[in-house]
Structure 1
Amino acid sequence: MPAWLSHALPVGWALCALPLAAQTLCSSTGATPPLALFERFTRADCLACWQDATTPAPGASALVLDWIVPGALGDEAPMAAAAVPEALDRLQILQRPLPPERDIHTAPIEPWAGLRLRVGRGPEVNGYVGATLSLESRSAVQGPWSYHLLLVQAVAQGTEGSPMPRHVVRNAVQGRWTADNALPTSRRPHWIEVRPMRLPEGADPALFYTVGWVQDRSGRMVVAARSVCH
Protein backbone atom coordinates (compact mmCIF):
# COMPACT_ATOMS: atom_id res chain seq x y z
CA MET A 1 0.00 0.00 0.00
CA PRO A 2 1.35 3.49 -0.80
CA ALA A 3 2.79 5.11 2.35
CA TRP A 4 0.80 8.32 1.92
CA LEU A 5 -2.46 6.34 2.15
CA SER A 6 -1.70 5.58 5.77
CA HIS A 7 -2.32 9.23 6.70
CA ALA A 8 -5.93 9.55 7.80
CA LEU A 9 -7.86 12.43 6.31
CA PRO A 10 -9.94 14.46 8.76
CA VAL A 11 -13.49 15.18 7.62
CA GLY A 12 -14.44 18.26 9.62
CA TRP A 13 -13.48 21.85 9.08
CA ALA A 14 -11.70 24.01 11.65
CA LEU A 15 -13.90 26.71 13.13
CA CYS A 16 -11.39 29.51 12.88
CA ALA A 17 -9.76 31.18 9.86
CA LEU A 18 -6.11 32.08 9.37
CA PRO A 19 -5.34 35.75 8.72
CA LEU A 20 -5.28 36.86 5.09
CA ALA A 21 -1.73 38.07 5.59
CA ALA A 22 -0.61 34.45 6.05
CA GLN A 23 -1.92 33.35 2.66
CA THR A 24 0.98 34.62 0.54
CA LEU A 25 3.36 31.67 0.07
CA CYS A 26 1.60 30.22 -2.95
CA SER A 27 -0.88 31.82 -5.32
CA SER A 28 -2.26 31.67 -8.83
CA THR A 29 -1.09 35.21 -9.61
CA GLY A 30 0.75 35.18 -12.94
CA ALA A 31 -0.10 31.53 -13.68
CA THR A 32 -1.82 30.54 -16.93
CA PRO A 33 -5.51 29.74 -16.27
CA PRO A 34 -6.57 26.18 -17.15
CA LEU A 35 -8.82 25.63 -20.15
CA ALA A 36 -10.60 22.48 -18.99
CA LEU A 37 -11.36 20.41 -15.91
CA PHE A 38 -10.37 16.72 -15.92
CA GLU A 39 -11.58 14.71 -12.91
CA ARG A 40 -10.67 11.08 -12.20
CA PHE A 41 -12.81 9.23 -9.64
CA THR A 42 -11.28 6.06 -8.17
CA ARG A 43 -12.96 3.78 -5.63
CA ALA A 44 -10.90 3.24 -2.49
CA ASP A 45 -11.32 -0.53 -3.01
CA CYS A 46 -9.51 -0.49 -6.36
CA LEU A 47 -5.77 -0.26 -5.70
CA ALA A 48 -5.21 -1.76 -9.16
CA CYS A 49 -6.94 1.31 -10.65
CA TRP A 50 -4.43 3.57 -8.90
CA GLN A 51 -1.56 1.48 -10.23
CA ASP A 52 -2.90 1.23 -13.81
CA ALA A 53 -0.43 2.75 -16.29
CA THR A 54 -3.18 3.10 -18.92
CA THR A 55 -5.21 5.55 -16.82
CA PRO A 56 -6.25 8.43 -19.13
CA ALA A 57 -4.51 11.76 -18.69
CA PRO A 58 -5.13 15.12 -20.42
CA GLY A 59 -2.82 17.74 -21.87
CA ALA A 60 -1.00 20.37 -19.86
CA SER A 61 -3.76 22.97 -20.28
CA ALA A 62 -6.25 20.97 -18.17
CA LEU A 63 -6.82 21.17 -14.44
CA VAL A 64 -6.50 17.56 -13.23
CA LEU A 65 -8.06 16.23 -10.04
CA ASP A 66 -8.00 12.74 -8.53
CA TRP A 67 -10.92 11.95 -6.20
CA ILE A 68 -10.65 8.84 -4.01
CA VAL A 69 -14.25 7.70 -3.50
CA PRO A 70 -15.21 5.78 -0.33
CA GLY A 71 -15.45 2.07 -1.14
CA ALA A 72 -17.70 -0.83 -0.24
CA LEU A 73 -15.03 -2.19 2.13
CA GLY A 74 -15.18 0.94 4.27
CA ASP A 75 -12.12 1.41 6.48
CA GLU A 76 -10.72 -1.89 5.21
CA ALA A 77 -10.37 -0.61 1.63
CA PRO A 78 -6.75 -0.31 0.43
CA MET A 79 -7.09 3.44 -0.07
CA ALA A 80 -9.63 4.15 2.67
CA ALA A 81 -7.41 6.68 4.45
CA ALA A 82 -7.35 8.91 1.35
CA ALA A 83 -11.05 8.61 0.55
CA VAL A 84 -13.03 11.80 1.08
CA PRO A 85 -16.80 12.11 1.55
CA GLU A 86 -16.63 15.22 -0.63
CA ALA A 87 -16.02 12.87 -3.56
CA LEU A 88 -19.55 11.55 -3.07
CA ASP A 89 -20.85 15.13 -2.94
CA ARG A 90 -19.04 15.90 -6.18
CA LEU A 91 -20.54 12.89 -7.95
CA GLN A 92 -23.97 13.96 -6.77
CA ILE A 93 -23.47 17.49 -8.10
CA LEU A 94 -22.42 16.02 -11.45
CA GLN A 95 -25.41 13.63 -11.35
CA ARG A 96 -23.09 10.69 -11.94
CA PRO A 97 -23.56 7.27 -10.32
CA LEU A 98 -21.14 5.78 -7.84
CA PRO A 99 -18.51 4.09 -10.02
CA PRO A 100 -17.85 0.39 -9.32
CA GLU A 101 -14.13 1.06 -9.85
CA ARG A 102 -13.42 4.40 -11.56
CA ASP A 103 -14.92 7.13 -13.70
CA ILE A 104 -13.79 10.25 -15.57
CA HIS A 105 -15.54 13.58 -15.95
CA THR A 106 -14.40 16.42 -18.20
CA ALA A 107 -15.75 19.92 -18.68
CA PRO A 108 -14.59 22.99 -20.62
CA ILE A 109 -13.83 26.25 -18.88
CA GLU A 110 -15.54 29.02 -20.81
CA PRO A 111 -13.98 32.32 -19.69
CA TRP A 112 -16.31 35.14 -18.74
CA ALA A 113 -14.75 38.45 -19.73
CA GLY A 114 -14.04 40.71 -16.78
CA LEU A 115 -13.71 38.04 -14.10
CA ARG A 116 -10.47 37.59 -12.19
CA LEU A 117 -10.04 34.60 -9.86
CA ARG A 118 -7.16 34.08 -7.46
CA VAL A 119 -6.44 31.13 -5.18
CA GLY A 120 -3.77 31.01 -2.50
CA ARG A 121 -2.22 28.69 0.06
CA GLY A 122 -0.61 29.91 3.23
CA PRO A 123 2.15 28.33 5.36
CA GLU A 124 1.60 25.31 7.59
CA VAL A 125 0.53 26.30 11.12
CA ASN A 126 -0.18 23.57 13.67
CA GLY A 127 -1.07 21.07 10.95
CA TYR A 128 -3.26 23.46 8.93
CA VAL A 129 -2.77 25.62 5.86
CA GLY A 130 -4.91 28.59 4.96
CA ALA A 131 -6.74 28.37 1.64
CA THR A 132 -8.13 31.48 -0.05
CA LEU A 133 -10.38 32.11 -3.01
CA SER A 134 -10.96 35.61 -4.37
CA LEU A 135 -13.18 36.68 -7.26
CA GLU A 136 -13.31 40.18 -8.71
CA SER A 137 -15.70 41.32 -11.43
CA ARG A 138 -14.57 44.23 -13.56
CA SER A 139 -18.14 44.72 -14.73
CA ALA A 140 -21.31 45.26 -12.77
CA VAL A 141 -22.15 41.54 -12.75
CA GLN A 142 -23.23 40.61 -9.23
CA GLY A 143 -23.63 36.87 -9.70
CA PRO A 144 -24.89 34.64 -8.30
CA TRP A 145 -21.81 32.45 -8.49
CA SER A 146 -21.15 28.93 -7.23
CA TYR A 147 -17.58 28.45 -6.03
CA HIS A 148 -15.39 25.43 -5.24
CA LEU A 149 -12.16 25.59 -3.23
CA LEU A 150 -9.97 22.48 -2.91
CA LEU A 151 -6.76 21.44 -1.20
CA VAL A 152 -4.86 19.07 -3.49
CA GLN A 153 -1.83 16.85 -2.89
CA ALA A 154 0.65 16.42 -5.73
CA VAL A 155 1.97 12.87 -6.17
CA ALA A 156 4.89 12.63 -8.58
CA GLN A 157 5.08 9.98 -11.30
CA GLY A 158 6.76 6.84 -10.03
CA THR A 159 6.06 7.57 -6.36
CA GLU A 160 3.50 6.12 -3.96
CA GLY A 161 2.80 3.28 -6.37
CA SER A 162 1.45 5.52 -9.15
CA PRO A 163 2.84 5.22 -12.69
CA MET A 164 1.71 8.76 -13.48
CA PRO A 165 1.42 12.14 -11.75
CA ARG A 166 -1.61 12.39 -9.47
CA HIS A 167 -3.47 15.35 -8.02
CA VAL A 168 -5.35 13.98 -5.04
CA VAL A 169 -8.16 16.03 -3.52
CA ARG A 170 -7.65 16.09 0.24
CA ASN A 171 -10.24 18.67 1.25
CA ALA A 172 -12.98 20.54 -0.55
CA VAL A 173 -15.58 23.19 0.19
CA GLN A 174 -18.24 24.77 -1.94
CA GLY A 175 -20.59 27.70 -1.56
CA ARG A 176 -22.46 30.51 -3.22
CA TRP A 177 -21.71 34.18 -3.71
CA THR A 178 -24.35 36.83 -4.39
CA ALA A 179 -24.49 40.61 -4.35
CA ASP A 180 -25.46 40.39 -0.67
CA ASN A 181 -22.15 38.87 0.44
CA ALA A 182 -19.79 40.86 -1.79
CA LEU A 183 -17.18 42.98 -0.01
CA PRO A 184 -18.94 46.24 0.89
CA THR A 185 -15.78 48.38 0.64
CA SER A 186 -14.81 47.34 -2.90
CA ARG A 187 -15.53 49.61 -5.86
CA ARG A 188 -16.12 46.54 -8.03
CA PRO A 189 -18.02 43.37 -7.11
CA HIS A 190 -15.53 41.36 -5.08
CA TRP A 191 -15.83 38.18 -3.01
CA ILE A 192 -13.32 36.38 -0.77
CA GLU A 193 -13.44 32.99 0.93
CA VAL A 194 -10.84 32.04 3.55
CA ARG A 195 -10.66 28.51 4.97
CA PRO A 196 -8.18 26.64 7.19
CA MET A 197 -7.62 23.15 5.78
CA ARG A 198 -5.93 20.39 7.72
CA LEU A 199 -3.00 18.47 6.29
CA PRO A 200 -2.73 14.69 6.71
CA GLU A 201 -0.53 13.88 9.68
CA GLY A 202 3.14 13.76 8.76
CA ALA A 203 2.57 15.04 5.21
CA ASP A 204 5.02 17.43 3.53
CA PRO A 205 3.24 20.83 3.19
CA ALA A 206 5.27 21.54 0.03
CA LEU A 207 3.24 18.91 -1.83
CA PHE A 208 -0.06 20.73 -1.34
CA TYR A 209 -1.67 23.46 -3.41
CA THR A 210 -5.11 25.00 -3.81
CA VAL A 211 -7.52 24.85 -6.72
CA GLY A 212 -10.64 26.88 -7.29
CA TRP A 213 -13.29 27.50 -9.88
CA VAL A 214 -16.49 29.48 -10.27
CA GLN A 215 -19.70 28.61 -12.12
CA ASP A 216 -22.52 30.89 -13.25
CA ARG A 217 -26.20 30.35 -12.49
CA SER A 218 -26.51 27.85 -15.38
CA GLY A 219 -23.62 25.73 -14.08
CA ARG A 220 -21.14 26.82 -16.75
CA MET A 221 -17.54 27.00 -15.51
CA VAL A 222 -16.46 30.57 -16.20
CA VAL A 223 -13.05 30.80 -14.48
CA ALA A 224 -10.61 28.49 -12.69
CA ALA A 225 -7.20 28.81 -11.03
CA ARG A 226 -4.46 26.77 -9.38
CA SER A 227 -1.88 28.08 -6.91
CA VAL A 228 1.82 27.78 -7.69
CA CYS A 229 4.52 27.91 -5.01
CA HIS A 230 7.79 29.73 -5.63
Structure 2
Amino acid sequence: MKNIALTLASLWLALAHAPQAMAQASCSSDGTPRPVAVFERFISADCESCWGDAATPAPSTKAGALVLDWIVPGKAGDDAPLSAAASTDALTRLQALGRKPPISTDVYVTPVDLAARGRLRVAHGVAFNDYVGTGIAFTPSPAAPQRTATATPLAFYLLLVEAIPAGTDGTVVPRYIVRNQFEGTWPLAQRPARSKGKPWAWMETRSMRIPDGAQADRLHLVGWVQDASGSIVAAAQSVCR
Protein backbone atom coordinates (compact mmCIF):
# COMPACT_ATOMS: atom_id res chain seq x y z
CA MET A 1 0.00 0.00 0.00
CA LYS A 2 2.89 2.35 0.70
CA ASN A 3 4.22 1.94 -2.83
CA ILE A 4 0.76 2.56 -4.31
CA ALA A 5 0.45 5.70 -2.19
CA LEU A 6 3.81 6.93 -3.46
CA THR A 7 2.75 6.25 -7.03
CA LEU A 8 -0.43 8.26 -6.52
CA ALA A 9 1.53 11.09 -4.93
CA SER A 10 3.82 11.13 -7.95
CA LEU A 11 0.82 11.30 -10.26
CA TRP A 12 -0.69 14.18 -8.30
CA LEU A 13 2.50 16.17 -8.77
CA ALA A 14 2.74 15.18 -12.41
CA LEU A 15 -0.82 16.32 -13.03
CA ALA A 16 -0.36 19.57 -11.18
CA HIS A 17 3.05 20.53 -12.57
CA ALA A 18 5.11 20.09 -15.70
CA PRO A 19 4.93 16.57 -17.18
CA GLN A 20 8.69 16.13 -16.98
CA ALA A 21 8.68 16.75 -13.22
CA MET A 22 8.04 13.11 -12.36
CA ALA A 23 9.59 10.40 -14.54
CA GLN A 24 7.37 7.79 -12.91
CA ALA A 25 4.34 9.26 -14.70
CA SER A 26 5.87 8.96 -18.16
CA CYS A 27 2.63 7.74 -19.70
CA SER A 28 0.32 10.68 -20.28
CA SER A 29 -1.81 12.49 -22.84
CA ASP A 30 0.72 15.34 -23.13
CA GLY A 31 1.28 16.35 -26.74
CA THR A 32 -1.42 14.09 -28.15
CA PRO A 33 -4.14 15.39 -30.52
CA ARG A 34 -7.52 16.21 -29.03
CA PRO A 35 -9.97 13.39 -29.89
CA VAL A 36 -13.03 14.39 -31.90
CA ALA A 37 -15.23 11.45 -30.85
CA VAL A 38 -15.51 8.39 -28.62
CA PHE A 39 -16.19 5.29 -30.75
CA GLU A 40 -17.50 2.45 -28.56
CA ARG A 41 -18.00 -1.16 -29.63
CA PHE A 42 -20.05 -3.42 -27.36
CA ILE A 43 -19.44 -7.13 -27.96
CA SER A 44 -21.49 -9.92 -26.41
CA ALA A 45 -19.30 -12.38 -24.53
CA ASP A 46 -21.46 -15.10 -26.14
CA CYS A 47 -20.38 -14.09 -29.67
CA GLU A 48 -17.00 -15.68 -30.33
CA SER A 49 -17.19 -14.90 -34.06
CA CYS A 50 -17.64 -11.19 -33.31
CA TRP A 51 -14.17 -11.03 -31.81
CA GLY A 52 -12.48 -12.29 -34.98
CA ASP A 53 -14.77 -10.52 -37.47
CA ALA A 54 -12.73 -8.74 -40.15
CA ALA A 55 -15.76 -6.52 -40.86
CA THR A 56 -15.79 -5.08 -37.34
CA PRO A 57 -16.95 -1.42 -37.49
CA ALA A 58 -14.16 1.11 -37.05
CA PRO A 59 -13.79 4.87 -37.47
CA SER A 60 -11.84 6.40 -40.31
CA THR A 61 -8.12 6.43 -39.61
CA LYS A 62 -8.26 10.21 -40.10
CA ALA A 63 -11.24 10.71 -37.80
CA GLY A 64 -9.22 11.13 -34.61
CA ALA A 65 -11.64 9.07 -32.51
CA LEU A 66 -10.94 7.18 -29.30
CA VAL A 67 -11.87 3.52 -29.84
CA LEU A 68 -13.10 1.30 -27.02
CA ASP A 69 -14.15 -2.37 -26.94
CA TRP A 70 -16.52 -3.36 -24.15
CA ILE A 71 -17.05 -7.09 -23.62
CA VAL A 72 -20.61 -7.44 -22.32
CA PRO A 73 -21.41 -10.40 -20.01
CA GLY A 74 -23.47 -12.95 -21.95
CA LYS A 75 -26.30 -15.33 -21.16
CA ALA A 76 -23.82 -18.20 -20.88
CA GLY A 77 -22.11 -16.46 -17.93
CA ASP A 78 -18.65 -17.83 -17.18
CA ASP A 79 -19.07 -20.39 -19.97
CA ALA A 80 -19.30 -17.69 -22.64
CA PRO A 81 -16.37 -17.75 -25.12
CA LEU A 82 -15.30 -14.18 -24.26
CA SER A 83 -16.17 -14.30 -20.55
CA ALA A 84 -12.53 -13.86 -19.46
CA ALA A 85 -12.61 -10.25 -20.68
CA ALA A 86 -16.26 -9.51 -19.86
CA SER A 87 -16.96 -6.71 -17.40
CA THR A 88 -20.03 -5.52 -15.52
CA ASP A 89 -18.75 -2.01 -16.31
CA ALA A 90 -19.98 -2.66 -19.85
CA LEU A 91 -23.51 -3.16 -18.54
CA THR A 92 -23.27 0.06 -16.54
CA ARG A 93 -22.11 1.94 -19.63
CA LEU A 94 -24.92 0.53 -21.77
CA GLN A 95 -27.45 1.53 -19.14
CA ALA A 96 -26.06 5.07 -19.09
CA LEU A 97 -26.46 5.22 -22.88
CA GLY A 98 -29.98 3.80 -22.73
CA ARG A 99 -29.03 0.73 -24.78
CA LYS A 100 -29.65 -2.98 -24.27
CA PRO A 101 -26.93 -5.65 -24.16
CA PRO A 102 -26.22 -6.80 -27.74
CA ILE A 103 -26.43 -10.34 -29.04
CA SER A 104 -23.49 -9.64 -31.35
CA THR A 105 -21.79 -6.22 -31.74
CA ASP A 106 -23.32 -2.81 -31.11
CA VAL A 107 -21.64 0.54 -31.86
CA TYR A 108 -22.19 3.92 -30.25
CA VAL A 109 -20.38 7.10 -31.27
CA THR A 110 -20.32 10.25 -29.15
CA PRO A 111 -18.80 13.43 -30.64
CA VAL A 112 -16.51 15.58 -28.50
CA ASP A 113 -17.52 19.23 -28.20
CA LEU A 114 -14.85 20.96 -30.29
CA ALA A 115 -15.85 24.37 -28.92
CA ALA A 116 -13.39 23.38 -26.19
CA ARG A 117 -14.55 24.21 -22.69
CA GLY A 118 -11.32 23.01 -21.21
CA ARG A 119 -8.31 20.75 -21.47
CA LEU A 120 -8.21 17.20 -20.13
CA ARG A 121 -5.07 15.36 -19.07
CA VAL A 122 -4.67 11.71 -18.06
CA ALA A 123 -1.53 9.99 -16.77
CA HIS A 124 -0.45 6.74 -15.16
CA GLY A 125 2.61 5.30 -13.50
CA VAL A 126 4.22 1.87 -13.61
CA ALA A 127 2.34 -1.28 -12.65
CA PHE A 128 3.00 -2.64 -9.16
CA ASN A 129 1.47 -5.79 -7.63
CA ASP A 130 -1.40 -5.83 -10.15
CA TYR A 131 -2.20 -2.15 -9.58
CA VAL A 132 -1.33 1.03 -11.42
CA GLY A 133 -1.54 4.60 -10.14
CA THR A 134 -3.70 6.77 -12.39
CA GLY A 135 -4.75 10.40 -12.56
CA ILE A 136 -7.09 12.70 -14.43
CA ALA A 137 -7.16 16.52 -14.47
CA PHE A 138 -9.49 18.97 -16.21
CA THR A 139 -8.54 22.61 -16.69
CA PRO A 140 -11.54 24.77 -17.62
CA SER A 141 -11.04 27.16 -20.52
CA PRO A 142 -10.76 30.83 -19.49
CA ALA A 143 -13.21 31.57 -22.30
CA ALA A 144 -15.80 29.13 -20.99
CA PRO A 145 -19.08 30.68 -19.85
CA GLN A 146 -19.31 31.46 -16.14
CA ARG A 147 -21.37 28.87 -14.32
CA THR A 148 -23.53 29.46 -11.28
CA ALA A 149 -23.47 27.64 -7.98
CA THR A 150 -26.69 25.87 -8.97
CA ALA A 151 -25.15 24.40 -12.12
CA THR A 152 -25.05 20.63 -12.38
CA PRO A 153 -21.67 18.93 -11.85
CA LEU A 154 -19.39 17.59 -14.54
CA ALA A 155 -19.01 13.81 -14.69
CA PHE A 156 -15.61 12.27 -15.43
CA TYR A 157 -14.72 8.80 -16.65
CA LEU A 158 -11.30 7.17 -16.45
CA LEU A 159 -10.79 3.83 -18.19
CA LEU A 160 -7.90 1.39 -18.06
CA VAL A 161 -7.66 0.05 -21.61
CA GLU A 162 -5.64 -2.81 -23.08
CA ALA A 163 -4.56 -2.34 -26.71
CA ILE A 164 -4.44 -5.66 -28.55
CA PRO A 165 -2.69 -5.52 -31.94
CA ALA A 166 -4.34 -6.97 -35.04
CA GLY A 167 -3.26 -10.54 -35.72
CA THR A 168 -2.87 -11.45 -32.04
CA ASP A 169 -5.14 -13.14 -29.51
CA GLY A 170 -7.52 -14.24 -32.26
CA THR A 171 -8.46 -10.79 -33.57
CA VAL A 172 -7.76 -9.59 -37.09
CA VAL A 173 -8.43 -5.95 -36.20
CA PRO A 174 -6.91 -3.83 -33.43
CA ARG A 175 -8.85 -4.05 -30.18
CA TYR A 176 -9.00 -1.69 -27.21
CA ILE A 177 -10.50 -3.66 -24.36
CA VAL A 178 -11.84 -1.74 -21.36
CA ARG A 179 -10.30 -3.51 -18.37
CA ASN A 180 -11.33 -1.24 -15.51
CA GLN A 181 -13.36 1.92 -15.01
CA PHE A 182 -13.53 4.72 -12.45
CA GLU A 183 -16.05 7.53 -12.56
CA GLY A 184 -17.00 10.49 -10.43
CA THR A 185 -18.22 14.08 -10.48
CA TRP A 186 -16.73 17.51 -10.02
CA PRO A 187 -19.11 20.11 -8.52
CA LEU A 188 -19.09 23.26 -10.60
CA ALA A 189 -20.02 25.30 -7.55
CA GLN A 190 -16.71 24.34 -5.93
CA ARG A 191 -13.52 26.03 -7.15
CA PRO A 192 -11.00 23.41 -8.27
CA ALA A 193 -7.41 23.06 -7.08
CA ARG A 194 -4.66 25.38 -8.27
CA SER A 195 -0.92 24.87 -8.25
CA LYS A 196 1.56 27.75 -8.14
CA GLY A 197 1.76 29.48 -11.49
CA LYS A 198 -0.82 27.10 -13.01
CA PRO A 199 -4.50 27.59 -13.91
CA TRP A 200 -7.37 26.15 -11.91
CA ALA A 201 -7.99 22.45 -12.48
CA TRP A 202 -10.09 19.64 -11.06
CA MET A 203 -7.93 16.61 -10.27
CA GLU A 204 -8.43 13.02 -9.19
CA THR A 205 -5.91 10.24 -8.51
CA ARG A 206 -6.44 6.62 -7.59
CA SER A 207 -4.96 3.15 -7.98
CA MET A 208 -6.68 0.88 -10.48
CA ARG A 209 -6.46 -2.89 -10.42
CA ILE A 210 -5.15 -4.72 -13.47
CA PRO A 211 -7.53 -7.66 -14.00
CA ASP A 212 -6.26 -11.20 -14.42
CA GLY A 213 -5.29 -11.91 -18.01
CA ALA A 214 -4.48 -8.32 -18.94
CA GLN A 215 -0.91 -7.51 -20.01
CA ALA A 216 0.42 -4.49 -18.15
CA ASP A 217 2.70 -3.43 -21.01
CA ARG A 218 -0.32 -3.03 -23.32
CA LEU A 219 -2.31 -0.77 -21.00
CA HIS A 220 -3.12 2.91 -21.40
CA LEU A 221 -5.72 5.35 -20.08
CA VAL A 222 -8.73 6.87 -21.76
CA GLY A 223 -10.67 9.63 -20.06
CA TRP A 224 -13.43 12.07 -20.79
CA VAL A 225 -15.56 14.72 -19.09
CA GLN A 226 -19.25 15.19 -19.85
CA ASP A 227 -21.96 17.61 -18.78
CA ALA A 228 -25.44 16.82 -17.46
CA SER A 229 -26.83 16.39 -20.97
CA GLY A 230 -24.27 13.67 -21.72
CA SER A 231 -22.26 15.85 -24.10
CA ILE A 232 -18.52 15.12 -23.93
CA VAL A 233 -16.71 18.41 -23.40
CA ALA A 234 -13.15 17.00 -23.36
CA ALA A 235 -11.42 13.67 -23.93
CA ALA A 236 -7.87 12.31 -23.84
CA GLN A 237 -5.81 9.15 -23.92
CA SER A 238 -2.32 8.41 -22.62
CA VAL A 239 0.72 7.41 -24.63
CA CYS A 240 3.80 5.81 -23.08
CA ARG A 241 6.94 7.47 -24.40
Q: 1:149-228 residue pairs with structure 2 within 5 A? A: 149-179=158-188, 182-185=191-194, 188-201=199-212, 203-228=214-239
Q: Is there any run of 5+ residues in structure 1 with no aligned partner, and where?
A: 1-15
- The aligned counterpart of 1:93 is 96
The one-letter code sitting in structure 1 at the alignment partner of 2:96 is I
Alignment of 1:145 with 2:154, yes or no, is yes
CA RMSD of aligned residues (A): 2.0
User: TM-score, with normalisation over the residues of structure 2?
Assistant: 0.83
Shift of 1:19: 2.0
Q: Following the alignment from structure 2 to structure 1, what is the Cα–Cα distance between the partners of residues 81 and 182?
A: 25
User: Structure 1: how far apart are the matches of 2:9 and 2:190?
Assistant: 18
Name the SS for the 1:100 alignment partner. Answer: coil
Q: Aligned in 2, Cα 1:125/1:160: closer, same or farther, shift over 3 Å?
A: same
- Provide TM-score, normalisation by structure 1: 0.86
Corresponding residue SS for 1:30: coil
| Distance in 2 between residues matched to 1:160 and 1:122, nearest whole Å | 26
Measure the CA separation in 2 of the matches of 1:104 and 1:170: 18
TM-superposed CA distance for 1:196, in Å, is 1.0
The residue matched to 1:135 in structure 2 has which SS?
Answer: strand
Aligned match for 2:67, one of 60, 64, 68: 64
- Checking the alignment, whether the CA contact within 8 Å between 1:179 and 1:189 is kept in structure 2 is no
**Offset at 1:82?**
0.6
Counterpart of 2:168, as a letter, is T
Which one is further off, 66-75 or 199-208?
199-208
Please identify runs of 4+ aligned residues in structure 1 that moved more than 6 A: none
* Bigger shift: residues 60-69 or 17-26: 17-26
Q: How many residues align?
A: 215
Matched-pair identity in %: 47
